[in-house]
């Protein structure tokens, strides 16, 4: 990831809708003197509008809520939402090198909002958390499959990938795992992730 953060040619858009976390993000960008990160206080979703944010049990576990099925600890903020497709179109982004999603169970909604980019293989690499047997993970896997992405499990602290969960070395297995989805065209564009 550091390769992308320190790349003078690229821009990193960082979406953080929760006010406290957004200001912490801005402070870190300033403190680390990183000039190519654009912090945005907006949530990516499958629709454009306004959503509610639930403050989780601990810092960093805030989650966008759009229905009544989620356990809400403390409903604390509203946020604007947009889709990846709309955001990319608005800002003239034709291709995304790396998309990292950690949205506390909202990952599938974010991917649904990027179906146009995914269908056209315009996102080279996607990293998400994998929580076995959850609705969110099932939705993400369906989206990757439907859009012909190759999916690998990132083996923790090793720097290598495995294709099947039963190939994962269980001495390092500790949920949640991270998944790497790769576009069919990523290698043709000669874009390689050297370190994760």
- Is 53 within the bounds of a domain? yes
Name the phi and psi angles at 52, rounded to 5. Answer: -100, 150
Tens digit of each residue's pLDDT (9 = 90 or more) over 142-195? 999 999 999 998 888 777 888 888 888 876 667 778 899 999 988 654 444 444
Instruction: Verify cis geometry, omega within 30 degrees of 0, for the bond prior to 176.
Output: yes
- Is 43 within the bounds of a domain? yes
Residue 1 scores a pLDDT above 60: no
The CATH number covering residue 107 comes to: 3.40.50
Q: Span 120-147, mean pLDDT? A: 92
Query: Of 165, 159, 177, 14, which Cα lies nearest the Cα of 98?
Result: 14
Tens digit of each residue's pLDDT (9 = 90 or more) over 8-26? 668 999 999 988 889 999 9
- Is 188 within the bounds of a domain? no
Query: Of 179, 156, 187, 178, which Cα lies nearest the Cα of 169?
Result: 156
- Is 65 within the bounds of a domain? yes
Containing H/E element for 136?
helix 135-146
- Is 147 within the bounds of a domain? yes
Residue 6 scores a pLDDT above 60: no
Q: Which whole-number Å values give the CA distances from 168 to 20, 89, 149, 165, in the listed order? A: 36, 38, 20, 5
Q: How many domains does the structure of the chain reveal?
A: 1
Q: Span 109-129, mean pLDDT? A: 96
Burial of 64 (0-12, 13-18, 19+ CB in 10 A): buried
- Worst-scoring range by mean pLDDT, 22-31, 87-96, 106-115, 154-163? 154-163
Q: How far is CA 38 from the centre of its chain?
A: 15
Query: Which domain does 46 fall in, by range?
Result: 2-182
The span from the CA of 143 to the CA of 140, in Å, is 5
Give residue 47's pLDDT band: very low, low, confident or very high (50, 70, 90): very high
- Is 193 within the bounds of a domain? no
Asked if 126 and 138 count as a contact pair (C-beta separation under 8 A), the reply is no
- Is 52 within the bounds of a domain? yes
Q: Span 96-122, mean pLDDT? A: 94
- Is 30 within the bounds of a domain? yes
Asked if 62 and 54 count as a contact pair (C-beta separation under 8 A), the reply is yes
Residue 61 scores a pLDDT above 50: no
């Amino acid at each position: 990831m550091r390769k992308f953060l320190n790349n003078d040619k690229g821009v990193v858009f960082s979406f953080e809708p929760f006010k406290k976390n957004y200001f912490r993000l801005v402070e870190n960008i300033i403190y680390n003197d990183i000039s190519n990160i654009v912090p945005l206080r907006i949530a990516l979703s499958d629709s454009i509008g306004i959503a509610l944010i639930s403050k989780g049990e601990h810092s960093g576990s805030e989650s966008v809520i759009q229905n009544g099925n989620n356990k809400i600890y403390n409903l604390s903020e509203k946020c604007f939402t947009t889709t990846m497709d709309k955001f990319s179109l608005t800002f003239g982004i034709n291709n995304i090198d790396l998309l990292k999603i950690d949205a506390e169970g909202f990952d599938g909604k974010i991917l649904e909002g990027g179906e146009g980019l995914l269908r056209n293989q315009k996102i080279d690499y996607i990293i998400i958390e994998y929580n076995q047997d959850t609705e969110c993970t099932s939705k993400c896997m369906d989206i990757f499959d439907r859009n012909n992405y190759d999916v690998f499990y990132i083996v923790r602290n090793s720097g290598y990938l495995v294709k099947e969960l039963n190939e994962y070395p269980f001495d390092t297995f500790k949920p949640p795992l991270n998944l790497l989805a790769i576009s069919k065209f990523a290698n043709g564009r000669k874009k390689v992730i050297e370190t994760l």
